């Protein structure tokens, strides 16, 4: 069957696009998702539904692509790279921090040549997607599909209260709203998990619109390659339950995430010609940038031993408070972030807890480099779409990145 629009990937972007594009009843939309689909909240497994549950990020979870990546050239043990393999994508398995980028981030994108990505032009959409339950001003929405809230201070765990007091004493500003354009300092994290429910784009955007006759959702479907007619994408080779078939579309939208999207382009013959030739993949378009400039937020955790009797997180929100600040000498505002958290044996699935198998409970402060200079690359291991790509992040290759992280620790 042919559709007006075929969307590859049912993550945060794919679910949102499917809902918005299918508002036009004359436009047929097909959404393809490699993982399982859950049509309503009642059918959603607890590890996806409940915000304090983190099992979905386990390396053996059926809801996790469980990629492995090389963090640095010296690193001997590959690091886990969790990505959601389920309707809603990584938004269905994440830590539920609902934090916007800085205005400067978007204005930098606009400066590359497309003013639609400037912060001023994006602000109406930030407002449209949220219902902020705490803040009422011109920068926040009041009737969007994603509820946003902050844990009241009287409910903070001891480690969060102690961290907040320490950062204020160190001279950082108290920040009542981290999604304000001028935000900086220490305060409560905005979250999208009211009543302990992780609100993904699947729940917020897709589920209310599933009955539309022009919207088709197909789960457990793995895209093998995009089919091109010249330079134009016209279809997708997909696999479902061991069978191969082709879906055609007037428009093909690739929403498979920061890892699977470049992987699929390479498998489809779009990327560096020499790399594709090595793997015997027919060249469609020589685009050397595909798979390059691989970036993420490198982090280092400082683990702490709690005193006897200190209350730790069980069913409470995982990330309650944090600090954003500008590194000394940095030209980028809020390029560093720290946040405290705690863990117990009840919080199975904590992806960081696996690094301390002998410690059933504890506390940590996570130091994150938000705007790293270092960048890596994604390449294919083979032409088999079932085989994960090779991820070389090359963290901390610049002295500037290393210095900022040392300062944070």
The domain that holds 107 is classified in CATH as 1.10.1220.110
Predicted local distance difference test score (pLDDT) of residue 360:
63
Nearest to 252 by CA among 32, 83, 26: 32
Residues 6+ apart with CB under 8 A from 75: none
Burial of 376 (0-12, 13-18, 19+ CB in 10 A): buried
Residues 24 and 73 in one domain: yes
Predicted local distance difference test score (pLDDT) of residue 347:
47
What's the rounded Cα separation, in Å, for the pair 186 and 153? Answer: 12
Question: Which residue among 274, 291, 308 closes a domain?
Answer: 291
Residues 207 and 275 in one domain: yes
pLDDT digits (tens, 9 = 90+) for 256-287: 999 999 999 999 999 999 999 999 999 999 99
Please give the model's pTM, rounded to 2 decimal places.
Answer: 0.94
- Does 57 map to a domain? yes
- Does 247 map to a domain? yes
What's the rounded Cα separation, in Å, for the pair 218 and 216? Answer: 7
Give mean pLDDT, residues 317-333: 96
User: Please, are residues 272 and 285 in contact by the beta-carbon 8 Å criterion?
Assistant: no
What's the rounded Cα separation, in Å, for the pair 179 and 182? Answer: 8
pLDDT digits (tens, 9 = 90+) for 18-41: 999 999 999 999 999 999 999 999
Residues 14 and 127 in one domain: no
- Does 354 map to a domain? no
- Does 92 map to a domain? yes
- Does 214 map to a domain? yes
Residues 132 and 213 in one domain: no
Residues 233 and 91 in one domain: yes
Higher pLDDT residue, 332 or 343?
332
Q: Which of 267-276, 314-323, 355-364 has the lowest mean pLDDT?
A: 355-364
- Does 283 map to a domain? yes
Question: Which residue among 244, 264, 291 closes a domain?
Answer: 291
> Is the model's pLDDT at 361 over the cut of 90?
no
Residues 254 and 270 in one domain: yes
Give mean pLDDT, residues 148-175: 98
- Please report the sign of the dihedral spanned by the C-alpha atoms of residue 145, residue 91, residue 375, residue 233: negative
Nearest to 158 by CA among 351, 324, 337, 304: 304
Q: Which of 74-78, 120-124, 171-175 has the lowest mean pLDDT?
A: 74-78
- Does 401 map to a domain? no
User: Please, are residues 186 and 322 in contact by the beta-carbon 8 Å criterion?
Assistant: yes
200, two tokens:
């993904």
Other C-beta atoms lying within 10 Å of the C-beta of residue 287: 16
For 119-128, which contacts have Cβ atoms below 8 Å and span 24 or more sequence positions? 119/181, 126/100, 126/179
Residues 138 and 27 in one domain: no
Residues 11 and 78 in one domain: yes
Residues 214 and 278 in one domain: yes
Q: Give the pLDDT band of residue 353 (cuts 50, 70, 90).
A: very low
For 65-69, which contacts have Cβ atoms below 8 Å and span 24 or more sequence positions? 65/259, 65/260, 65/388, 67/259, 67/388, 67/389, 67/391, 68/388, 68/391, 69/391, 69/392, 69/393
114 — alpha (psi -120 to 50), left (phi > 0) or beta? beta
What's the rounded Cα separation, in Å, for the pair 226 and 234? Answer: 8
- Does 320 map to a domain? no
Residues 12 and 132 in one domain: no
Range of the structural domain that residue 47 is part of = 2-96+199-291
H helices, E strands: number in the chain: 9, 20
pLDDT digits (tens, 9 = 90+) for 279-296: 999 999 999 999 999 999
36, two tokens:
């399982």
> Is the model's pLDDT at 348 over the cut of 50?
no
> Is the model's pLDDT at 396 over the cut of 50?
yes
Task: Tell me the H-state helices in 114-272.
Answer: 119-129, 158-169, 201, 257-267
Residues 89 and 215 in one domain: yes
Residues 83 and 109 in one domain: no
Domain count, the chain: 2
Question: Which residue among 266, 291, 316 closes a domain?
Answer: 291
Helix (H, G, I), strand (E, B) or coil at 140: coil
pLDDT digits (tens, 9 = 90+) for 197-210: 999 999 999 999 99
Q: Give the pLDDT band of residue 309 (cuts 50, 70, 90).
A: confident
Predicted local distance difference test score (pLDDT) of residue 209:
98
CATH of residue 22: 3.50.50.60
What's the rounded Cα separation, in Å, for the pair 240 and 328? Answer: 52
């Amino acid at each position: 069957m042919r559709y007006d629009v075929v969307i590859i990937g049912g993550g945060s972007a794919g679910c949102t696009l499917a809902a918005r594009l299918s508002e036009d009843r004359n436009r047929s939309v097909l959404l393809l998702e490699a993982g399982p689909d859950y049509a309503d909240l009642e059918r959603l497994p607890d590890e996806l539904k409940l915000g304090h549950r983190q099992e979905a990020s386990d390396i053996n979870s059926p809801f996790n692509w469980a990629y492995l990546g090389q963090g640095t050239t010296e690193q001997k043990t590959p690091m886990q790279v969790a990505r959601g393999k389920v309707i809603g994508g990584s938004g269905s398995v994440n830590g539920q921090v609902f934090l916007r980028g800085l205005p400067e981030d978007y204005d930098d994108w606009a400066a590359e040549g497309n003013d639609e990505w400037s912060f001023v032009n994006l602000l109406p959409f930030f407002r449209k997607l949220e219902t902020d339950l705490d803040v009422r001003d011109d920068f926040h929405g009041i009737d969007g599909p994603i509820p946003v809230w902050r844990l009241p201070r009287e409910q903070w765990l001891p480690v969060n209260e102690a961290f907040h007091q320490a950062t204020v004493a160190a001279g950082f500003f108290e920040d009542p709203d981290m999604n304000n354009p001028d935000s900086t300092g220490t305060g409560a994290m905005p979250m999208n998990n009211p009543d302990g429910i992780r609100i993904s784009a699947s729940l917020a955007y897709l589920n209310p619109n599933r009955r539309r006759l022009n919207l088709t959702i197909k789960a457990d479907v793995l895209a093998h390659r995009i089919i091109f007619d010249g330079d134009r994408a016209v279809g997708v080779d997909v696999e479902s339950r061991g069978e191969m078939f082709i879906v055609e579309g007037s428009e093909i939208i690739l929403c498979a995430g920061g890892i699977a999207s470049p992987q699929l382009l390479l498998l489809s013959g779009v990327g560096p010609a020499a790399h594709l030739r090595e793997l015997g993949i027919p060249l469609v378009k020589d685009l050397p940038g595909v798979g390059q400039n691989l970036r993420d937020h490198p982090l280092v955790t400082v683990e702490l031993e709690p005193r006897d009797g200190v209350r730790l997180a069980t069913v409470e929100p995982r990330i309650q408070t944090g600090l954003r600040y500008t590194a000394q000498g940095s030209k980028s505002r809020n390029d560093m972030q720290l946040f405290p958290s705690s863990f117990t044996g009840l919080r199975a699935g904590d992806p960081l807890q696996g690094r301390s198998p002998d410690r059933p409970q504890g506390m940590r402060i996570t130091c994150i480099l938000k705007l790293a200079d270092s960048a890596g690359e994604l390449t294919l291991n083979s032409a088999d779409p079932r085989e994960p790509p090779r991820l070389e992040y090359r963290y901390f290759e610049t002295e500037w990145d290393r210095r900022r992280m040392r300062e944070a620790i």
